[in-house]
Amino acid sequence: MSEAQADPSGQFALQRIYVKDLSFEVPGAPDAFTGEWKPDIKLDLNSKNNKISEDTFEVVLNITVTATNLDKVAFLAEVQQAGIFLIKGMPPEQIQHLMGAYCPNVLFPYARETISDLVNRGSFPQLLLAPVNFDALYAEALKRQSKDEASEVH
């Protein structure tokens, strides 16, 4: 069996989902609640992973939402939604794809709900984040990495 082939007994399992870190700020309160509400929403999103043991990985999805209204920050919501995943008997490329695209996709609905709840508890109108195509983001990151590596060689 070549190294590129997956072990037929390969395993993937979600072991735990949790909020690793959480923050909500309203820097301009109480003025942030007065006047017309026409916010500009900025979303920053990334993920990272840590190897916990030989076959166990932590994947952390970081989401930061900044809402500005009338050129002032109305609120800043940040969440680090994490999960522990068992990934065993798979080739490295597949493990990287799972951690770079599939796992963040599993974590996103939880992070989305947490952000929505934070914004609501902060007394702002409901905020529902649009779905994210993590496969496309992962593919784009791989392209960028290939270009960076190619430019370093020249």
pLDDT digits (tens, 9 = 90+) for 81-126: 999 999 999 999 999 999 999 999 999 999 999 999 999 999 999 9
> At a CB cut-off of 8 Å and minimum separation 6, what does 85 contact?
12, 13, 14, 15, 56, 57, 58, 59, 98, 99, 103
Under CATH, which number does the domain 11-153 receive? 3.10.420.10
CA distance 63 to 20: 12
Q: What is the model's pLDDT at position 68?
A: 96
Q: Exposure pattern of 144-153 as b/e (b: 16+ CB <10 Å)?
A: eeeeeeeeee
Whole-structure pTM value: 0.86
Question: Of the candidates 150, 52, 146, 42, which has an alpha carbon nearest to the alpha carbon of residue 99?
Answer: 52
The residue extents of the domains of the chain are: 11-153
For residues 63 and 24, the answer to whether their CB atoms sit within 8 Å is no
Query: For the segment 1-18, what is each residue's pLDDT rounded down to a tens digit?
Result: 334 444 566 899 999 999
pLDDT of residue 2: 38
The confidence score (pLDDT) of residue 153 equals 60
Q: CA 133 to CA 107: how far, in whole Å?
A: 13
Ramachandran angles phi, psi of 100, nearest 5°: -90, -20
